[in-house]
Structure 1
Amino acid sequence: MTDTETLLAEFDSWFGDSTPDRPGPAVAPATLDARSVSAWFGDHKVLDRVSLTMPAGEVTALIGPSGCGKSTFLRTLNRMHELVPSASLAGEVLLDDVDIYDASRRITEARRQIGMVFQKPNPFPAMSIQDNVLAGLALTGVRLDKAAKVDLVEETLTKAGLWKEVKDRLRQPGGGLSGGQQQRLCIARSLAVRPRVLLMDEPCSALDPTSTRRIEQTITELAAEVTIVIVTHNMQQAQRVSDRCAFFLAEAGTPGAIVEHGPTAAMFETPQDPRTADYVNGRFG
């Protein structure tokens, strides 16, 4: 399933919730707490009892070599893992002490509060920049008057660091933007539904260095108002943008697990596990 197909499936699940809503003012960032999370695709176990606290208002980076379960873990944090038909999961994911997998909790609410930005920018190419920002609201049944829409578009594009570049062409197609601009447009679209947490799956991997620096600046600016969890293979990026890191590893065919986690400076300067030291210093991975 591509990122765009996943996004459409997510929107489709939102659209099935017929209860209209209105976005309120910006809300406080939330703490995410994963407890003994294991994940499978069919009979293949890809994560084994992963526990990690991602504090409110901080940036947590998930690092580790390819195939160790980082992106799968990220998708368990807002119930996108279950969009894959063969997927299953055990454990808990608490959003400020409330389990998002509890049977009494609506999946739509989890995905409103915990947004996702994918590896490759995926705006709706024929839809205008303005309508891209508002897409999540329309598909969740949120109703706004014209003035409120105008304010929300400016607010979220400003937070995503894109407003000055596009304010005079809001009705032009989002697909006409550069790759870095498209990714910031996707960030604005995620922010429009007032998430408390923003998940980012290698958001800069397809971008040039200039666009990467701008996205990193956006992450730093957003951290005070939304909890961010980012998967990255770029160790310098992890050092630049994150407050905390978690090092994932899958060894000898075993499921992915966390080897070590803690403040970013400690993880890079004084890691406790020699495997962490080898990875952050580029000796494997």
Structure 2
Amino acid sequence: MTDATAARDSAATETAPTTDIAVVRTGTALADTVVLPPVPAGAPTASGPTAPATLEARAVSAWFGSHQVLERVSLTMPAGQVTALIGPSGCGKSTFLRTLNRMHELIPSAALAGEVLFEGEDIYAPQRRLTDARRRIGMVFQKPNPFPAMSIYDNVVAGLRLTGTRVSRREKDELVEESLTRAGLWKEVRDRLRQPGGALSGGQQQRLCIARALAVRPRVLLMDEPCSALDPTSTRRVEETIHELAGQVTVVIVTHNMQQAARVSQQCAFFLAEQGTPGGIVEHGPTEHIFGTPEDQRTADYVAGRFG
């Protein structure tokens, strides 16, 4: 355990059940509303597309109160590749995803142990700012969540205010077009940018949320079942967007759709929680290996649809 980990262990405000790794952080309440703060002087400015980054989880464990949902999960998510997290419901996939950009700590009673390394630096280290983690590691949720009263244009640039990024009006215009293009939505909405984002179809709203996440130039994009509420046509378009983003950003996606995992990812990790035990990774590696020649019989049974 590093000195930084030990330092934050001692600052923890709540302890979890006895284990061989110490709890590093506990949750705080999630606000019901989003308030866009004023952009401070000296804030970062928008720049061109950034290079994808490697993300690595080391011995990550997670709790909700006294209930442990993950135990010592370690996984490397290579830069510029799509890593799919698969497994039955309740095995901790979405919880693991939320630990990767510090969303887990927003949940009341949540606690975490282990490290999440972004290009070799722990995002939970005491000197690391929460806003830096959220800006570098973006997130797209299961249900499309555009700000309904905001225009399509304002939805895209909302993240700039939330992360305190300073841009000129010309830069905003260019960023909106670029982000919507990268999300595969520009041609469909370019003539109605001032219309409400909530008026779009479900699939378009999800791609708008992807564009909003991309506008702050993340190097990693987390996606929690982004197609589960979409029809097949919208799902195909989101998958096409993921293919186009591969190489530009590192993508980590939770999905229950085995065909989708096989189509969009280069790396795959199979999670499982058995007989009331915390979730963990049974097997991980190249997607073609996990689906074609898995080493663990439980993996073979799951991808073949024999359980889950």
- TM-score, scaled relative to structure 2: 0.88
Distance in 1, Cα, partners of 2:282 & 2:205? 34
Q: Give the Å deviation of 1:249.
A: 0.2
Pairs aligned (count): 279
Give the whole-Å Cα distance in 1 for the aligned partners of 2:222 and 2:192: 28
Measure, in 2, the Cα distance between the counterparts of 1:267 and 1:20. Answer: 44
Aligned to 2:307: 284
- Report whether the alignment pairs 1:256 with 2:279: yes
RMSD over aligned CA atoms reads 1.6
Q: Name the CA shift for 1:193/1:139 in 2 (closer, same or farther; >3 Å).
A: same
Whole-Å separation in 2 of the counterparts to 1:53 and 1:251: 23
- C-alpha distance in 2, partners of 1:26/1:66? 35
Task: Tell me the secondary structure at the aligned position of residue 271 of structure 2.
Answer: strand
Equivalent residue, structure 1, for 2:268? 245
Deviation track 1:126-147 (CA, whole Å, cap 9, x = no partner) reads 1000000000102222222211
Distance 2:211 2:272 in 1: 32
- Structure 2 residue 208 is matched with structure 1 residue 182: no
Q: Which residue of 2 aligns with 1:36?
A: 59
Report the CA distance shift for 1:237/1:213 in structure 2 as closer, same or farther (over 3 A): same
**Cross-structure match for 2:175:** 152
Q: 1:216 is matched with which residue?
A: 239
User: CA 1:270 to 1:73, structure 2 compared with 1: closer, same or farther past 3 Å?
Assistant: same
The question of 1:73 aligning with 2:112 is answered no
Equivalent residues in 2 for 1:189-228, closer than 5 Å: 189-228=212-251
Give how far 1:186 is off: 0.2
| Alpha-carbon distance, 1:25 to partner | 1.4
User: Which letter does structure 2 place at the counterpart of 1:205?
Assistant: S
Residue 154 of structure 2 aligns to which amino acid in structure 1? D
% identity of equivalent residues: 74
Shift of 1:15: 4.1
Structure 2: any 5+ residue segments left out of the alignment? 1-28
Is residue 202–residue 232 contact of structure 1 (8 Å, CA) maintained in 2? Answer: yes
Distance 1:23 1:112 in 2: 11
- 1:107 corresponds to: 130
Q: Indicate conservation of the 8 Å contact 1:17/1:108, yes or no.
A: no
Distance 2:189 2:32 in 1: 25
- 4+ residue stretches of structure 1 with deviation over 3 A? 5-9, 14-19
Gaps of 5+ in 1: none
Q: Which residue pairs with 2:163 in the alignment? A: 140
Whether the 8 Å CA contact 2:180–2:211 is kept in 1: the answer is yes
3-state SS of 2:233 partner: helix
Quick one: which amino acid aligns to residue 172 of structure 1?
Q
Map 1:91-106 → 2, pairs under 5 A? 91-106=114-129
Partner amino acid, structure 1, of 2:176:
V
C-alpha deviation, 1:16, in angstroms: 8.9
Structure 1 match to 2:294: 271
Q: How many Å separate the matches in 1 of 2:169 and 2:283?
A: 49
Shift of the alpha carbon at 1:8?
6.7
Give the aligned residue type for 2:239: E
Q: 1:144 to 1:78 in 2, by over 3 A?
A: same
Give the structure, 1 or 2, with the largest relative contact order (CA under 8 Å, sep 6 or more): 1
Partners of 1:280 and 1:250 in 2: CA distance: 16
> In 1, distance between residues paired with 2:247 and 2:53?
11
**Alpha-carbon distance in 2 for matches of 1:139, 1:245:** 32
CA distance in 1, matches of 2:44, 2:80: 25
SS at match of 1:62: strand
CA contact (8 A) 2:39 2:165 kept: no
Work out which of the residue numbers 125, 128, 139 in structure 1 matches 2:148: 125
Find the aligned partners of 1:45 and 1:16 in 2 and give their Cα distance: 38
- What is the alpha-carbon distance in structure 2 between the residues aligned to residue 17 and residue 233 of structure 1? 39
Asked if the contact 1:180–1:212 (Cα under 8 Å) also holds between the matched residues in 2, the reply is yes
Tell whether the 8 Å contact from 1:133 to 1:189 is kept in structure 2 after alignment: yes
